[in-house]
A and B are shown apart, each in its own frame.
Chain A
């Protein structure tokens, strides 16, 4: 991928609401060129979605999150992909990764209540024939996500005027 596309991605990665005109100015390019690059990035599915990072704790929405380490039996011809697909279709699954190390899949799940989350593990995930074991850990507090620190004062410590 060319340098300009990388730079566009880096700007959007920090703030996807930056207006097109501003991106163009920041990179010293014209707006149509930048728009075209972004179109291509979307078509090529490099950019999949534009979403904010929300601190739900401040949005008065109850929810429970957990990380589940899952051991599975890979399937002939499909490896882990088929079982991964099976699992990520559940709405509760926010993220799913294939991992190296002591287990195979790491799932980030989210549910409105502890009970519903427990049901997901016991009624939907564990009974899958390829799943051989699970270990669930609940998220107690988020400090940082995707490079964004939660509850960061973000104050400028610099003197307002310096030589």
Chain B
């Protein structure tokens, strides 16, 4: 009977492959997880304390739909100073419940039925699903291990049809850890302009790039600001996942349209989260982002450890320069990425995420997160090395 009452468009979207894996993994004892997608740092205490102060002060009411102005002003200043992209805090910045909400309402605000959304893969799991929920058609654009999973403008152009409308770009990338160097970003920008595409740029990992690499923002390139929306949030660089706080910044018409959905469905993000985020940005600015730098350096050290460990055990792996993931190839074992992860979990109690969960281009790879205590990483490396000998 339920069929009649459930939207077929929702039924058509498969449940997240990550969720499926989580159910079998979460019951394992003594398992070491490289499957997490969040920092292993607790939010810096001064940031948590700002939320506590806000509660003590009785700030328990709704905020404006767009979010508290001081936070929007800080976001605007942050984007302009760090990423050379200027936005009016009054009309061009919207505070959302995580970057996830921003992705959802951006797509819903922009897509008409049948519009095609170009999605470079492997990618974060919600782009395809949100596109479908919004009535759009996701179009896979493959990226390749041979190119360090950087999006090639030619591959993108090959996928363009008269219905192509939006490109979702996410570098540094989850799950590959890839970044997109300036010249490749510029090539993608030329394609976007030539074919009149709008670019939704998920920059949630922007602060996490290593060894001096700086991820240039698409919005800062000439001719791109008008056709770009930046989506970001506080989860990764500021270690605030549970606060669920993100934002979008774009030219006014797009923000106004998305804000309409936001005001009718969400109303506003949690006030305490907004206060904490405001403090994180303000304090960050005043201290030269010392907390972010400290965490980034710690990830970088573990990134190098993991890369060396994988290469020592003979796993093919390009050097990822962003986010906190490594995406080694397990093709030589002859197993599918899902079978590899299942077997590794059952036999050695190590949790990795099958690359196929992030799109077809991820098949033959596994996502390993290095945001975990070094002692646990070392133990996981030993177990994986032992496992590979049995494959």
Indicate which residue in B22, B25, B304, B372 contacts A28 across the interface (CB closer than 8 Å).
Answer: B304
B174 CB to nearest A CB, Å: 8
Residues of B with C-beta under 8 A to A160:
22, 25-26, 28, 31, 33, 35-36, 351
Which residues of A in the span 67-122 have a Cβ within 8 Å of any Cβ on B? none
How far is A11 from B300 in the complex, measured between Cα atoms in Å? 13
Q: Which chain B positions have C-beta within 8 A of A163?
A: 16, 18, 37, 124-126, 174
**Docked complex: B294-313 residues within 8 A CB-CB of A:** 297, 301-302, 304-305, 308
Question: B304 touching A162 by the CB < 8 A rule?
Answer: no
Most central of A22, A28, A158 by chain B CB within 10 Å: A158
In the complex, whether B360 has a CB less than 8 A from a CB of chain A is no
Q: Is the CB of B37 within 8 A of A26?
A: no
Q: Which of A124-163 contact B (CB under 8 A)?
A: 156, 158-163
Q: Is A26 within 8 A of B351, CB to CB? A: no
Residue of A7, A28, A156, A163 with most partner-chain B CB within 10 A? A163
Inter-chain CA distance A25–B304, complex, in Å, is: 6
Name which of A22, A156, A159 has the most chain B CB atoms within 10 A of its CB: A159
Which secondary structure dominates where chain A touches chain B? loop
With A156-B40, A160-B31, A161-B351 already in contact, the answer to whether A25 and B25 are too (CB < 8 A) is no
Contact in complex: A159, B304 (CB < 8 Å): no
- Known interface pairs A22-B305, A27-B301, A28-B304. Does A162 touch B18 (Cβ–Cβ under 8 Å)? yes
Q: Judge if B387 is at the interface, Cβ distance under 8 Å.
A: no
Among residues 15 to 33 in chain A, which have CB atoms less than 8 Å away from a CB atom of chain B? 22, 25-28
A25 touches B35 (CB 8 A): no
A54 to B124, CA, bound (A): 44
Apart from A160-B36, A163-B126, A163-B174, list 9 A-B contacts with CB within 8 A: A158-B36, A159-B26, A160-B22, A161-B37, A162-B22, A162-B38, A163-B18, A163-B37, A163-B124
Q: List 9 A-B contacts (CB under 8 A).
A: A22-B374, A26-B301, A27-B301, A158-B40, A160-B26, A160-B28, A162-B35, A163-B18, A163-B125
Closest 7 pairs (CB-CB, A-B): A26-B301, A161-B35, A161-B22, A160-B33, A162-B37, A163-B125, A25-B308
B residues in contact (CB < 8 Å) with A: 16, 18, 21-22, 25-26, 28, 31, 33, 35-38, 40, 124-126, 174, 211, 297, 301-302, 304-305, 308, 351, 353, 372, 374
